Amino acid sequence: MENLVKIIIYIHAFFGGIGLIAGTVVMIIKKGSLMHKKVGKVFSIGMLVSSVLSLVICAFPNHHNSFLLMIGIFTIYMILMGNRILNYKRKNYSNNLDKVISGTMLFTSIIMLVFGILPLFSGHGIGILYLIFGGLGAFMAYRDFVFYKDVNNFKKWTMSHVGKMVGAYIASVTAFLVAGAGFGDNIYFWIVPSIIGTIYIISWAKKLNKKVAVN
């Protein structure tokens, strides 16, 4: 059994590494270019495979990791929605599946919040982690449903795409630093990727505002 787990972990790390490299390239190159689209697909595939395998690994005895489990769920959600949001460039696009994905994320987040509240009464710190992820997931799912009311807004779906993809990149970088590289004891490695990612999203939002204003 352990040999099987090791093989899955190696495959998980391999695709995660490809995703991280591709994600870094995507962050640097010109947005909307052919290279951006091609490398973006590599990033998405790498992160999806790696994240799905992380959930499989967590299901094995003695390998459960709440942090990696939640990172995996969030990455899958953000990669799926980050890519599917581009379909809103087409008119008459049916978004029923998108609503199912957002609804699933909302339901999962509520479960996380419940699991986060219960441990607080017994003094277990893991409850805080569930509350943070549960609250963040519920907020993102809520924002999805707000977006569905105005799907023709170029600025909204563009920012949703950028936010989801950068969020997936931040999650993968944090998971690598905390779990893969072993820097989990240093709080800076938990926080810094999110700070840098947030600055990047804000910077991109300003560029988008200028573009919309010009048009």
How far, in Å, CA of 84 to CA of 77, rounded? 11
Q: What is the pLDDT of residues 128-178, one digit of tens each?
A: 778 888 888 899 899 899 888 887 776 777 888 888 999 899 988 988 888
- From the number of C-beta atoms within 10 Å of its C-beta (0-12, 13-18, 19+), residue 179 rates as middle
- How many whole angstroms separate alpha carbon 107 and alpha carbon 208? 32
Q: What percent of the chain has pLDDT over 90?
A: 37
- Rounded distance between C-alpha atoms, residue 99 and residue 103, angstroms: 6
> By CB neighbour count within 10 A (0-12 exposed, 13-18 middle, 19+ buried), where does 183 fall?
middle
Cα separations in angstroms, 129 against 19, 39, 161, 180, 185: 25, 32, 25, 19, 15
Mean pLDDT of 111-124: 75
Q: How do the domains of the chain map onto residue ranges?
A: 2-93+151-214
Is 212's pLDDT higher than 70? no
Q: Single out the residue of 111, 171, 103, 113 nearest to residue 140, CA to CA.
A: 103
At residue 77, the pLDDT reads 95
pTM: 0.86
| Residue partners of 146: CB distance under 8 A and separation at least 6 | none
pLDDT for 8 beyond 70: yes
Which phi and psi angles does 140 have, rounded to 5°? -65, -40
Per-residue pLDDT tens over the stretch 80-109? 999 998 888 877 788 899 999 999 999 999
pLDDT for the residue 192: 86
